[in-house]
């Protein structure tokens, strides 16, 4: 959840570390800090607030050849200077940065306190610095290994020892760590976003693996001190992809990248000979597809809602029972794992801990699970070994936009392929292939209406609450729309199935309660209109997002979108809700990319 960076090499580490934190700030921005070793020993500078606050207080003359840095999303202890990372031991010899949660930290803190250690923070992470410092091991790597054997939970850590300024030690369990290999220099980070400005050659650590790095290279090993062999790979990313360009913030940039992102997701995957999809990354034959009797989609937040979109498409097109479930709940209810069920783990980062834990549970019980992720070498991608790569490109804003759209498109491809190996006709396949071909153009048309959508959004900036409603295909769209609004505008928003509104929630409708109605032009149009009439009769303002021709005067405002194939309508209906939420939040002056209390790439439970 937090962002961590390390550097060792001939350059001044300070500006590299600060720039790395800037690139990782989407992972946490409650506090930030830096620790380096210079001629005066260990120098630590940290503060509550964003990386910009840290930049202001780092001495201009501070220089060092090695260091570590951290930007935090708080789990233990409120965001303040004292709880900011890096944390040190009492002698200020060891400094650590940590991403994850140590589940036995209270017991360890009690033991350290009983031994006379003066703890300086309320965090779980600080105990690691003291445990490493107290080790009698002769190498930093062994001291770190010894300390990690005493902790329970998840971690991605980097350790700096003032007595060994030329090396850093990193380790991971459940939280990502990637090494960047440069020219006589090494970098470490929790995400390649911090590295691509300096190198495209990277190494991903596996769980329970450590790395000792110096300017000359790296050495990796297991928790049992056995050497491991890691081969560098190249990442197809550049620093330009993490720049705003002409956009005011990353959410706006990423909304406008959706045409290109969908193009990439579809490229080479539409089989125009058989009017099907070509998903070679899944690695299943038509006979194996035929043997699938159920599909279960697992994700968290927007990935879960995309799973609901996908489940609907799979049932419609392939006539296979399909449903989506929050990955955070899946393993805790002791689920029955069927050998004829295809499980799909959905995650933008590929590091979402709850989803990764669900994958582990599925593999332990013999389930067939594929990944649907946006990062090729992520933990979920490697654990699953097969799946669908999203090709959405980097997504730095906390709010999911292009990743949600590409998740839905990828699941439409899966639904099409499953359908065509069953009962979906060639003609129906042709219709859907054409519908998928049309999606990038539809998205362009929606983005072209941004000014109109913005003007509608601004009219509702004073609302304290909103309903989002939809039926069947529109229901997950309503859920995702409500999530977007509340996470970036802080307006309370609730999503309901349209049919459920009269079973209680209708009591809240009044002239101060706007409702966003998701109304696809499908067989349920007349029922959606009836629900809107019920809201209108009670004085509630209504914003309709629709590709249908609604009766004149039915709604207060209407956001019209191009007409898509009915099974694909959820994809196009979602895009204007992103713009609606964005401009409403912008009107309220919110920090769009870094909404309060949230962070991207959730690597804690």
DSSP, residue by residue, 485-554: HHHHH--EEEEEEGGGGGGTGGGG-STT--EEEEE-SSTTHHHHHHHHHHHHHTT--EEEEESS-PPTTS
Output 97 or 75, whichever has higher pLDDT.
97
Dihedral over Cα of 497, 401, 299, 417: its sign: positive
CB 297 within 8 A of CB 476: no
Q: What are phi and psi of 237, to 5 degrees?
A: -135, 150
Rg, C-alpha atoms of the chain: 25
**300 assigned to active site:** no
Q: What are phi and psi of 150, to 5 degrees?
A: -95, -10
Confidence grade of residue 18 (pLDDT, cut at 50, 70, 90) = very high
| Residues written for the chain | 605
Give strand pairing partners of 468. Answer: 495, 516
How far is it, in rounded angstroms, from Cα 105 to Cα 151? Answer: 7
CB 574 within 8 A of CB 568: no
Q: What does the pLDDT average to over 495-521?
A: 92
Q: What does the pLDDT average to over 345-350?
A: 94
pLDDT at residue number 601 = 63
Mean pLDDT estimate for the chain: 92
In the chain, pLDDT over 90 holds for what percent of residues? 76
**CA 452, 454, 455, 458: dihedral to nearest 10 degrees?**
160
Confidence grade of residue 74 (pLDDT, cut at 50, 70, 90) = low
The DSSP-derived string for 190-242 is SSGGGTTTT-SEEEEPPTTEEEEEETTEEEEEETTS-EE----EE----GGGG
List where CATH 3.40.50.10490 sits in the chain.
Answer: 247-446, 449-593
How far is it, in rounded angstroms, from Cα 471 to Cα 520? Answer: 9
How far is it, in rounded angstroms, from Cα 440 to Cα 567? Answer: 16
Could you tell me the CATH superfamily of domain 247-446? Glucose-6-phosphate isomerase like protein; domain 1 (3.40.50.10490)
- Domain 3-242 sits in CATH at 3.60.20.10
What is the CATH architecture assignment of 449-593?
Answer: 3-Layer(aba) Sandwich (3.40)
Looking at 18-27, 187-196, 520-529, 557-566, which range is the least confident one? 18-27
Confidence grade of residue 365 (pLDDT, cut at 50, 70, 90) = very high
How far is it, in rounded angstroms, from Cα 423 to Cα 99? Answer: 48
Q: Which residue has the tokens 């207060």?
A: 556
Residue 174 tokens read as: 């459940």
DSSP for residue 335: P
Q: Would you say residue 263 has pLDDT above 70? A: yes
| Closest to 333 (Cα-Cα) out of 296, 279, 289 | 296
Q: Which of the following is catalytic: 296, 402, 486, 600?
A: 600
Note the helical H segments in 58-211.
105-114, 126-134, 140-148
Q: What does the pLDDT average to over 129-137?
A: 94
Q: Which residue has the tokens 């609907």?
A: 312
Cα 296-290-278 angle, rounded to 5 deg: 80
Q: What is the H or E stretch that residue 10 is in? A: none
How far is it, in rounded angstroms, from Cα 57 to Cα 184? Answer: 30
Residue 179 tokens read as: 């090494």
Does the N-terminal peptide bond of residue 86 adopt cis geometry, omega within 30 degrees of 0? yes
**2 assigned to active site:** yes
List where CATH 3.60.20.10 sits in the chain.
Answer: 3-242
Dihedral over Cα of 412, 418, 420, 424: its sign: negative
pLDDT at residue number 464 = 95
Q: Would you say residue 453 has pLDDT above 60? A: yes
506-518, pLDDT tens digit by residue?
888 999 999 999 9
The β-bridge relationship of strands 178-181 and 270-271 is unpaired
Q: Would you say residue 353 has pLDDT above 90? A: no
pLDDT at residue number 245 = 84
Local structure of 364: helix, strand or coil: helix
Q: Which of the following is catalytic: 2, 265, 300, 384?
A: 2
Dihedral over Cα of 275, 281, 287, 291: its sign: negative
Taking the alpha carbons at both ends of the chain, their separation in whole angstroms is 10
Local structure of 568: helix, strand or coil: helix
How far is it, in rounded angstroms, from Cα 154 to Cα 166? Answer: 27
Query: Other C-beta atoms within 10 Å of 366: how many?
Result: 9
How far is it, in rounded angstroms, from Cα 303 to Cα 291? Answer: 26
């Amino acid at each position: 959840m937090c962002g961590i960076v390390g550097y060792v090499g001939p350059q001044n580490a300070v500006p590299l570390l600060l720039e790395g934190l800037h690139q990782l700030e989407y992972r946490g921005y409650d506090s930030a800090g830096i620790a380096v070793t210079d001629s005066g020993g260990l120098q630590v500078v940290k503060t509550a607030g964003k990386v910009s606050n840290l930049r202001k207080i780092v001495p201009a003359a501070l220089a060092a050849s090695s260091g570590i840095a951290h930007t935090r999303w708080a789990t233990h202890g409120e965001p303040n200077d004292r709880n900011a990372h890096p944390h040190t031991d009492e002698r200020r010899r060891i400094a650590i940065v940590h991403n994850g949660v140590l589940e036995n930290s209270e017991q360890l803190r009690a033991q350290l306190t009983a031994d006379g250690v003066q703890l300086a923070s309320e965090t779980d992470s600080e105990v690691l610095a003291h445990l490493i410092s107290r080790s009698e091991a002769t190498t930093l790597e062994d001291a770190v290994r010894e300390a990690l054997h005493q902790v329970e939970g998840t971690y991605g850590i980097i350790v700096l020892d003032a007595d060994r300024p030329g090396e850093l030690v990193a380790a991971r369990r459940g939280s990502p760590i990637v090494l960047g290999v440069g020219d006589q220099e090494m970098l470490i980070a929790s995400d390649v976003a911090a590295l691509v400005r300096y190198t495209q050659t990277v190494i991903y650590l596996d769980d329970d693996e450590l790395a000792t790095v110096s300017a000359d290279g790296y050495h990796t090993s297991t928790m049992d001190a056995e050497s491991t062999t890691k081969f560098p790979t190249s990442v197809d990313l550049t620093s330009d992809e993490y720049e705003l360009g002409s956009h005011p913030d990353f959410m706006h940039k990423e909304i406008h990248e959706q045409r290109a992102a969908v193009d990439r997701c579809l490229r080479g995957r539409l089989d125009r000979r058989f009017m099907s999809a070509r998903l070679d990354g899944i690695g299943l034959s038509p006979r194996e597809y035929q043997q699938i009797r159920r599909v279960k989609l697992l994700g968290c937040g927007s990935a879960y809602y995309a799973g609901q979109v996908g489940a609907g498409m799979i049932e419609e097109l392939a006539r296979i029972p399909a449903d989506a479930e929050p990955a955070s709940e899946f393993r805790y209810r002791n689920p029955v794992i069927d050998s004829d069920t295809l499980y799909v783990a959905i995650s933008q980062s590929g590091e979402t801990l709850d989803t990764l834990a669900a994958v582990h549970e599925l593999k332990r019980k013999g389930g067939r699970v594929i990944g649907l992720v946006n990062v090729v070498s992520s933990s979920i991608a490697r654990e699953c070994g097969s799946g669908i790569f999203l090709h959405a490109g980097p997504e730095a804003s906390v709010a999911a936009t292009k990743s949600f759209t590409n998740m839905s498109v990828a699941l439409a491809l899966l639904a099409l392929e499953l359908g065509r190996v069953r009962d979906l006709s060639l003609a129906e396949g042709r219709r859907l292939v054409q519908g998928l071909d049309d999606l990038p153009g539809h998205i362009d048309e929606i983005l072209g209406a941004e000014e109109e959508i913005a003007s509608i959004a601004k009219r509702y900036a004073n609302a304290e609450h909103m309903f989002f409603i939809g039926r069947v295909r529109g229901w997950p769209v309503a859920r995702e729309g409500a999530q977007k609004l509340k996470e970036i505008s802080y307006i309370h928003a609730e999503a309901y199935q349209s049919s459920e509104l009269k079973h209680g929630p209708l009591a809240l409708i009044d002239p101060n309660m706007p409702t966003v109605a998701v109304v696809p032009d499908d067989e349920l149009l007349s029922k959606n209109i009836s629900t809107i009439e019920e809201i209108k009769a009670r004085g509630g303002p209504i914003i309709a997002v629709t590709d249908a021709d609604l009766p004149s005067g039915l709604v207060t405002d209407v956001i019209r979108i191009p007409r898509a194939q009915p099974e694909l309508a959820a994809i196009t209906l979602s895009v204007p809700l992103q713009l609606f939420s964005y401009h409403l939040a912008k009107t309220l002056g919110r920090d769009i990319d870094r909404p309060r209390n949230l962070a991207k790439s959730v690597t804690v439970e």
